[in-house]
Amino acid sequence: MALIARPQQPSSRARAGLLCVLGLACVVPSRSQEPGTEEQTRPNFVLILADDLGYGDLACYGNWHVQTPRLDRMAEEGVLLTSFYVNASVCSPSRAAFLSGKFPGRLGVHGVRWGDPAAGMGLTPAETAWLPDVLARAGYRTGHFGKWHMEHQGQGKGPGAYGVEDHRTTASVGPGWEREDNSWTARADELIFDEALRFLASADARPFYLNVWSPTPHTPIAPSQEQLEVGHYKNMLASGALGPLEVPTPMRQYGSAVTELDRNVGRLLDALDERGLSENTLVLFTSDNGPENLVPRRNASVGNAGPFRGRKRSLYDGGVRMPALVRWPGSVPANEVRHDLVSGVDWFATVLDLAQVDLPGEDLLDGDRAPVLFGGEGGRARPLYWEYRFDQAGIIPINRSPMLSLRQGNWKLLMNPDRSRVELYDLARDPLEVDNVASAHPDEVELLSASLMAFHRSLPQGPIAPEAGRVFDPLPWEK
């Protein structure tokens, strides 16, 4: 795959969006426009999220064991990002950042099961602006299919409360799927993408915004026998004293599940091609956080964080740095690798920019406009902030991060609120985060730690576990 070959100018759509951001030529289209007007020229958007997929889990990111031919082709048809960060190391807050354009801690979304009063998370949809709702009000058709996990199960209102017109989820909010039979896990991606294809088939004159959120490769992983026989997976068998056993290895199960997700992503991209929608549709594929922890006998734990330290629930890069592929034929260059710093929180501002939708009166977003998502160059200049307030149970000590983290430029700072475990890494020189240079750069530590602590103090109150940011689990008498 080629490295960056040439500078790219933003498309006419992007330039129009920039004028909107600058307040020079902003038009907010209405739902009443007729076919053939400006309404149809605005781009469509598709956000495909995997669940617990690691940076190194795709063949196009160097994985030799997992077969992802359709995602590899997507990389050849567009841009592969090497420095794409999500905004939390677990599910719910990461997803909230994509749809709000704000760091999730500002929303009171600190961990999984957002909206759970026991966890101190009581945000309601009306308390901030949500991307589907803003787009729906500006004339977009909106859809969401698959995992939701944005509210505590049984206590939320589902995607409809966030402006999603057509939705079906895997959580008990709104219309969903019956999952009592054992085939659900193997069939989940096909069923979810079937709904996304139905959404495309029922398109009208309006542009659309579509979330397709897969549960793969989150545990439990239980591919069908047919999926286990794809490609080289059929030869991945566990070994016993007398030779190979007829038992699939964890990698065989994991890889088969990821390949099934890959197949269904291909179905969606092919449908865009067949309907003549690809050249007007920006597609982003990524994951919500890093791979599950290294737990024996759990096939989800063989996920690959690439070369990076950390996994799910950790603020080292293995927990928050994700594979990310961008496809938009004619606007995004083909077969390029970009190293620009981009984040999930930037999705909100970028989509509104390209959709030529203004958001008057909204507080300053944490997300930046990301030109790399539509063919331009340049990453974000502002810092990224993270927090993880809970125990990192199951993580081996080297992957257990401090509670707070910041990245600005090539610097990555991690620390606890009491200023213990201060770690500073120069990611340009040390992308593995193993050489702590805090003592050699006191001025940088002072400047970055002041910024990080100001961010931490600005967040709404919420739970903080005694174990947060510790290298080892506390002893029983310390709890």
End-to-end C-alpha distance for the chain, whole angstroms: 51
Report in angstroms the alpha-carbon separations of 136 from 39, 59, 96.
13, 36, 18
Q: Taking a C-beta distance cutoff of 8 angstroms, is the pair 158, 148 a contact?
A: yes
Residue (of 192, 202, 254, 264) closest to 228 by Cα position: 254
Three-class SS of residue 463?
Answer: coil
Report in angstroms the alpha-carbon separations of 376 from 9, 322, 323, 326, 404.
5, 20, 19, 12, 31
Report in angstroms the alpha-carbon separations of 104 from 97, 242, 388, 451.
5, 52, 11, 17
> Within 10 Å of residue 181's Cβ, how many Cβ atoms?
8
Pairing status of strand 321-327 against strand 281-287: antiparallel
Pairing status of strand 141-146 against strand 166-169: parallel
For residue 46, the Cα-to-chain-centroid distance in whole angstroms is: 13
Non-local CB neighbours of 461 within 8 Å, separated by 6+ positions:
120
The single residue of 110, 144, 149, 167 carrying the catalytic annotation is 149
> Within 10 Å of residue 241's Cβ, how many Cβ atoms?
5
Following DSSP, what letter does each residue of 120-180 receive, concatenated?
T----GGGS--HHHHHHHTT-EEEEEE---SS-TTTS--GGGGT-SEEEESSSSSSB----
The single residue of 20, 91, 110, 152 carrying the catalytic annotation is 91
The reply to whether 65 belongs to the active site is: no
User: What whole-number distance in Å separates Cα of residue 91 and Cα of residue 342?
Assistant: 18
Q: What is the DSSP letter of 230?
A: S
**Planar angle of CA 307, 394, 297, nearest 5 degrees:** 85
User: What whole-number distance in Å separates Cα of residue 18 and Cα of residue 26?
Assistant: 9
Pairing status of strand 281-287 against strand 166-169: unpaired
The reply to whether 339 belongs to the active site is: no
User: What whole-number distance in Å separates Cα of residue 344 and Cα of residue 54?
Assistant: 15
Residue (of 204, 200, 93, 205) closest to 143 by Cα position: 200
Pairing status of strand 281-287 against strand 44-50: parallel
Catalogue the active-site residues: 91, 149
